[in-house]
Structure 1
């Protein structure tokens, strides 16, 4: 296409110059002056070489101008073509980047939804595990209490049975002696039988009263011993529970301190700040899932520039390490941290 346009321009230029030469020749003087011929007569037409050189120079200049114009047009066409190609590449890259960003966003959305489902399932399992543990602890306490009560009741019953047997034996021995004495008295003193019978009845009543009083006292003492044993047992269980709770609380406190320090170290590793915030502090509140995934981070107090960098560092960590103890995990699910570069 370019070669054809150049050839056409050259042909047009040549035709114009040929026409110009024809017009010059047409206007030339072709009149003949008759002279006295001496010898043979020679007729000739003179053309000025300067005019021809000037015309040739003019033709070369026009050709060079046409060539230069064609070269300039070709250069402009190449520049336009290069600009269009660059614009096409830019548009293609922008479209490719938009498609890539869309795919990345869709992938992130799917991953976030999957993480949320995993977190919900883990929360359900943790809640079920906690409920089962609470029920097991309650059953252990109830079984221990029932065992203590059953033992105290069995001891009291054994003591009561032994006391009844002893009282029965004592009563039998006393009755045998009374019967023997009554028989001897009856044989020896018939007249004193009525008195002896009365005395025997009075003795029997006194003995019955004494037995009843003794039984009541024994029952009261047995009940007091049972209550004392139960109180001692319960006091021991309460002391043991308090000691176990104290050890458990200390363990939780130690674990919280250890993991808080680890959290701060991870945040410091991703913290990007300049010298202007040196010596400043930022208080953050982190809300985590049971597996340590960052659910939310908010600023409580402190330098705004430092807090923005600290929150960005928390989001870069994304998932914090969590302990195996569910009680410690529960405390770490929502924690306040102070960040200072």
Structure 2
């Protein structure tokens, strides 16, 4: 109904605009100049200006009246259109509200049905959940009991393992202490032996010095006796044959004495060289023992060898240690053991010390 009224108003408005345009065209001056045939005839028309002004004024008044009438008509149409549009919107709003109320009611019905189904489902799920929970609780109790039994067994095994581990650790600690004590005892023995060797060496040197002094005194006495004998022989020149025999005997005796002294000196030089060699070998053995005490190697290296060159200072400090040949792993362990010793005992004899300044050792675990 509203749509029909609106269409009717539009048609009326268009008709009025068409009529207004026709009035404007009617009032306009549409006179045309018609070409006259060429000739000698001449027509003349007189126009009254006052009449023209009056007609123009009438046309303007008519146009203004038509314009005012059209504006009034437009205003009425706009008011009617506004009223109709307001009515149309109100009707549309009423229809929309009715539809919305219907949708709301349908939605509420669906929600109620959904809630009813949901409640039924929740009741069924709650029952199923209660049944499942009862089964889970029963299983949990059984699992807890089995777990408690297993845990008890595990705790007992852990305690047994801890006790066995503690016992093994105690044995290891005892072995470590025993090894440390044995190492300390061996070091003490080595130090005592080194001191005894040094004392024996000092005693041997004192004896050698005393013997050298006695030999020098005997030689001086022999020389003094020889000088006295020569003086006696010079004084007893009267008996030439006796003096010659005596001189010959004495010369032979002196020759025998000097030969014995030379042999003794040669023997003494050989004994000194042997003594130095023995001392070098003995200290080399001591060095090996000291290195062996600090040597930490795996059983897999048993039977392997490592040849090292040690360079020592005059007081036994390790200046350098280098590998000559042998197993690399064993040589690394041997070098570490040498550096842990750091200072080796040295004898008092400078000749032996000279031989020990650079030594070659073979280490075998």
Which band: TM-score by shorter chain? 0.3 to 0.5
Calculate the TM-score normalised by the size of structure 2. Answer: 0.37
Larger Rg: 2
Calculate the TM-score normalised by the size of structure 1. Answer: 0.39
